[in-house]
Structure 1
């Protein structure tokens, strides 16, 4: 395999990438900040719910992979022959050694400790000693592998509340289920009648597969799958959609039931409290690395 490395101004990044992946038949194209780790480095992505500070880096490094050296050299020749590629610079053309990419990827994901004897363990790892409750979950297309603070806080809340609340969890709603990890965690702690819903069909498919792999029963589907009221409603999304969803989510909580919200930055607590005030009083129940977990109960 051969890697062609180019440097491009912002205006050329998209058209050059499209040409490489299209008629020039690159296997993949990645884009990096050419000024990374220097004084000129700039953040491209903003905080959740806020627009990015800029649409692209001033200078980008494009790395295109080709199966054959001739394909890479032909692509480079054709690109440089175009009038519109003025400003495109060639950095290198190198052989990429064969690697065990599966092993390398797997090595980046280790078991995640949630609470007490509760762990999230990728399928290629053995559960740690003393792990009584284990979610087997591999990285996939849907959000939720247990490594993000918002997911860990939700699972931690479930684990800590289960002893004195799970008897009443005869119905549970995981709204915005992603990988289904929260629904699976609830099932492992005694919840029944679980509905896991998401607007993304890929998330529904991932949730069904992950539930089967963990031997738990749940019903996954699109948001219209959620019907009626539940003693426990979980939603790990982001602050802006959680604000907009306040009437809907509260409408699914049974009187006296619990609402658990995550995907919220510490500075957004008051925003959520105001949005949910007509139905319940939200409070901060946990905090991890700048993110907070908020919970509330509907009046019985």
Structure 2
């Protein structure tokens, strides 16, 4: 049985009101998109660290609300009229939407990724290539880190260039799915710890470690990490938290130990190098698609 989709053209303020009202009126999901997408008037809508907060919606929007059936869609539209959210139904459209396996549709967006022609990051719903020299099976769950983002790839490349990591202790600070911690473990690090402030990330890292047969020493909330100094501290976060964490991350590394930082846009790199200058000698190690990885030793 098909789902029923309601489509409503709306300005910025109305789009936000419609989103809240439609969910309250029983919509299974509500999506707001730029009506001008694909035209010369299309514009990006996203935020970056250090920049002004972007608007919550475009000036010309298309609101899509999904309902289980036509009766539910009709009832919601009557509710919008009764609550005065909409003055009338001019410009409102409805259409059937075929039932889909939404989980599989989302998963299909993430394909296996090969880093440095050595390490394959393979989502749990895919098969690894038969000739893959090294495989890291990954299910991100609700956490960040699928191996597809340039910042993740930059950090993995840094680890691969320095492999084997025998004799080294590594900390993945802000572990997300655990991809960097698991990569370090597979590359031979003596001990690897992974911490995050998000309980979902901690859980995802534990499950991914188990799925790969990898032993991580500590996987926990950042506040629960035992006192320890590391040979390598990797933090793939964003520029704003990295600024604030400069003394914290530097203190996690032993004198001469390496800091590896990513989640940094090219235009933010020099500022981060200056922020960390009292603690470490960072340099631009590599760049990919507008993102930068900084790396260098902590001061003795």
The interval holding the TM-score normalised by the smaller chain is over 0.9
Q: Is the Cα contact below 8 Å between 1:7 and 1:89 reproduced in 2?
A: no
User: Could you tell me how far 1:65 is from its partner in structure 2?
Assistant: 1.0
Which residue matches 2:232? 232
Question: Partner of 2:6 in structure 1?
Answer: 4
1:146 maps to 147
Q: What's the offset of the Cα at 1:127?
A: 1.5
**Structure-1 residue corresponding to 2:219:** 220
Counterpart residue number, 2:38: 37
Give the alignment's Cα RMSD to 1 decimal: 1.8
Partner of 1:275: 275
Q: Is the 8 A contact 2:6 2:64 kept in 1?
A: yes
What is residue 92 of structure 2 aligned with on the other side? 91
The aligned residue for residue 284 of structure 2 is: 284
Q: What is residue 203 of structure 1 aligned with on the other side?
A: 201
Residue correspondence of structure 1 range 1-300 to structure 2 within 5 A: 1-22=3-24, 24-86=25-87, 89-163=90-164, 166-169=165-168, 171-218=169-216, 219-226=218-225, 227-300=227-300
Aligned equivalents of 1:178, 1:139: Cα separation in 2: 8
Q: Secondary structure of the equivalent of 1:85?
A: coil
Unaligned runs of 5+ in 2: none
TM-score (norm 1): 0.93
Contact 1:20/1:75 (CA < 8 Å) preserved in 2? yes
Tell me if the contact between 1:172 and 1:232 (Cα under 8 Å) persists in the aligned partners.
yes
TM-score (norm 2): 0.93
d(CA) in 1 for partners of 2:47, 2:221: 29
Structure 1 runs of 4+ off > 6 angstroms?
none
Unaligned runs of at least 5 residues, structure 1: none
Contact 2:139 2:204 survives alignment (8 Å): no
1:236: how far off?
A: 0.4
Aligned pair count reads 296
**Residue 116 and residue 83 in structure 1: after superposition, are their counterparts in 2 closer, same or farther (change >3 A)?**
closer
Instruction: Give distance in 2, aligned partners of 1:206 and 1:245.
Output: 23
